[in-house]
Structure 1
Amino acid sequence: MLRILLITPGATEYDQQGRVQGNLDIPLSADGREQVAKVIEQLEGFEPEAIYSSPCESCEQTAKQVGAALDVRPKTLDKLANLDHGLWQGMLIEDVKTKQPKVFRQWREQPETVCPPQGETVLAAKNRVSEVLRKVLKKHKSHDSVVVVAPEPLASVVRHVLRHDELTDFWGRRPGQAGWEVLEPMVPLKDA
């Protein structure tokens, strides 16, 4: 069974400031690069068939560092773009919480029921992620493992699609903390 190593990128300036990053293209900060280096140390002996990355700069930088260490060239997949948080992007999370407390609470408790102003629904992101993961699983079904580099909250959507579990509090997971976990997908992947 194919295993997916899900890696979240290191911190960006926006993460450190507590801002909603969404699909904005923000590079890793110095701390973020150090976080990725620590993750790489933990991956010694891991030999993935492929590395797939979200198109944001922090994920691409993370994927390049991981790829260089594991001797695998990363590939960027546009359908792994982070959720578009519309007008919330760039705002401090605290400001969203203060200015729109009911919507913020609903976003935390039931993220699939909220669409940020001029943003993307979780269902739309889930459909994108399901499609790309089905293709990855089909392409690599006879291999042991692949890497997927995705930022939060998209990484939570990836977990949800692969595990068939409930969507959880996107902002409860701390973005900007490079990390990794191994996921064994339940098959077949459900459609949204």
Structure 2
Amino acid sequence: MLLKASARSPVLLIRPGSTDFDEQGRIKGSLDMPMSENGHQQVELICDEISDFRPSILYSAPCESAIQTAETLASRSGSKIKIIDAFRNVDHGLWHGKLLDELRRNHPKLYKRGQETPEEICPPGGESLFDAKLRIEKAVNKVIKKSGSQLVAFVIPDPLAQIVHHLLSGQQWSKLWDAETDRADWQLIEPVSE
């Protein structure tokens, strides 16, 4: 399902700098963690890369690493920051803190399904990725509709950022585990409409 926004706003999708869990290859999901020192350096580098973009507002996930990333970007660009609760990352329930390698070794079929059909995944005690997709689709649509044709900038951690990319671009969504850890990067997406 693609976004239904009538406006065709270009979207700058920014992933936050890494946390200690990202660097250790652990599932972070909706855990609220600050950026590591490496994460701060990553964000400084992308500040230079996206300096030509001047969004008036950075729409940020409510987690600490996304807010820290947005604050650094805003200090350079003069953008305002708006925190969107619906941009909270996927709740991975009992998987929070587990090493990705541990999940791959101990649950190979589940790991493979996450690579091939991630929407089918629902961690024990967590949120299904299909439900996360429905939640974020509504929030992203609202922001894009409100923006008209102006550049929209989102600061959202993975794997939720991968879901947003899928919704905006219409590209196939796969390889959940490859998108589980953040490492400050960005993409400019021209949304497709239905």
Shorter-normalised TM-score: what interval?
Answer: over 0.9
Corresponding residue number in structure 1 for 2:47: 40
State the number of aligned residues.
187
- The RMSD of aligned alpha carbons is 1.2
Looking at structure 2, the residues matched to 55 and 14 of structure 1 have their Cα atoms a distance apart, in angstroms, of 17
> What residue ranges of structure 1 are gaps of 5+ in the alignment?
none
Identity of aligned residues (%): 38
Counterpart residue type for residue 100 of structure 1: H
Corresponding residue number in structure 2 for 1:170: 176
**Offset from partner CA, 1:8-51 (integer Å, 9 cap, x none):** 01110001111000000010000000000000011122111311
TM-score, scaled relative to structure 1: 0.93
Structure scoring higher RCO (CA < 8 A, sep ≥ 6) equals 2
2:153 maps to 1:147: yes
* Residue aligned with 1:69, SS: helix
Contact 1:152 1:170 in 2 (8 A): no
**How much does 1:173 deviate?**
3.5
TM-score, scaled relative to structure 2: 0.92
**Offset from partner CA, 1:34-73 (integer Å, 9 cap, x none):** 0000000111221113110111110110011111111012
Corresponding residue number in structure 2 for 1:120: 127
Looking at structure 1, the residues matched to 51 and 97 of structure 2 have their Cα atoms a distance apart, in angstroms, of 36
> What residue ranges of structure 2 are gaps of 5+ in the alignment?
1-7
4+ residue runs of structure 1 moved beyond 3 angstroms?
Answer: none
Corresponding residue number in structure 2 for 1:52: 59
